[in-house]
């Protein structure tokens, strides 16, 4: 439990309401993996605007669950935001995608979702 993510910030936000914690975990599973897929495709397609939007949308949740890849996500976001033609953010993208995959599987198991 909580190897690839942390619930400290979620629990602080929930104020002891474990149903709220479970609801936030369910929301993570509904949104973050789908956003990660959009981000992956956007980078592959050199769609800077979509990459920026997807990464920007993911930031608060990645930080809330403390996946440990916030700085990597910022690199990918900035790649899109500043249209860094000729620069490669694939390494950072892969780190983010792996973290989302591991955290999603773990959250799903931990919360029986």
Mean local confidence (pLDDT), 44-58: 98
pLDDT tens digits for range 61-104: 999 999 999 999 999 999 999 999 999 999 999 999 999 999 99
Q: What is the pTM of this model?
A: 0.95
Tokens coding 48: 């800077």
Q: What is the pLDDT of residue 48?
A: 98
Going by C-beta distance under 8 Å and a sequence separation of 6 or more, which residues neighbour residue 23? none
Host domain of residue 49: 8-110
Residue 50 CA to residue 57 CA, distance in Å, equals 10
Domain annotation covers residue 63: yes
Going by C-beta distance under 8 Å and a sequence separation of 6 or more, which residues neighbour residue 110? 1, 2, 25
Tokens coding 90: 């694939």
H helical segments located in 15-111: 18-44, 48-64, 70-81, 90-110
pLDDT bucket at 2, cuts 50 / 70 / 90: confident
Domain annotation covers residue 27: yes
Domain annotation covers residue 20: yes
52-71 in b/e form (b: 16+ CB < 10 A) is bbbbbbbeebbebbbbebee
Domain annotation covers residue 16: yes
Q: What is the pLDDT of residue 28?
A: 98
Higher-confidence position of 82 and 1: 82
In the predicted model, is pLDDT for residue 1 greater than 80?
no
Domain annotation covers residue 1: no
Domain annotation covers residue 2: no
Cβ atoms of residues 20 and 14 within 8 Å: yes
Domain annotation covers residue 99: yes
- Count how many domains the chain has: 1
In the predicted model, is pLDDT for residue 32 greater than 80?
yes
């Amino acid at each position: 439990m909580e190897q690839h993510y942390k619930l400290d910030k979620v629990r602080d936000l929930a104020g002891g309401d474990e149903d709220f914690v479970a609801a936030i975990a369910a929301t993570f599973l509904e949104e973050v993996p789908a956003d990660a897929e959009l981000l992956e495709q956007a980078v592959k397609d050199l769609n800077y605007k979509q990459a920026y939007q997807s990464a920007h949308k993911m930031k608060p949740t990645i930080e809330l669950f403390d996946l440990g890849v916030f700085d990597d996500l910022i690199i990918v976001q900035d790649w899109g935001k500043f249209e860094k033609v000729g620069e490669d953010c694939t390494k950072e993208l892969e780190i983010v995608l792996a973290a989302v995959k591991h955290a999603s599987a773990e959250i799903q198991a931990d919360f029986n979702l």
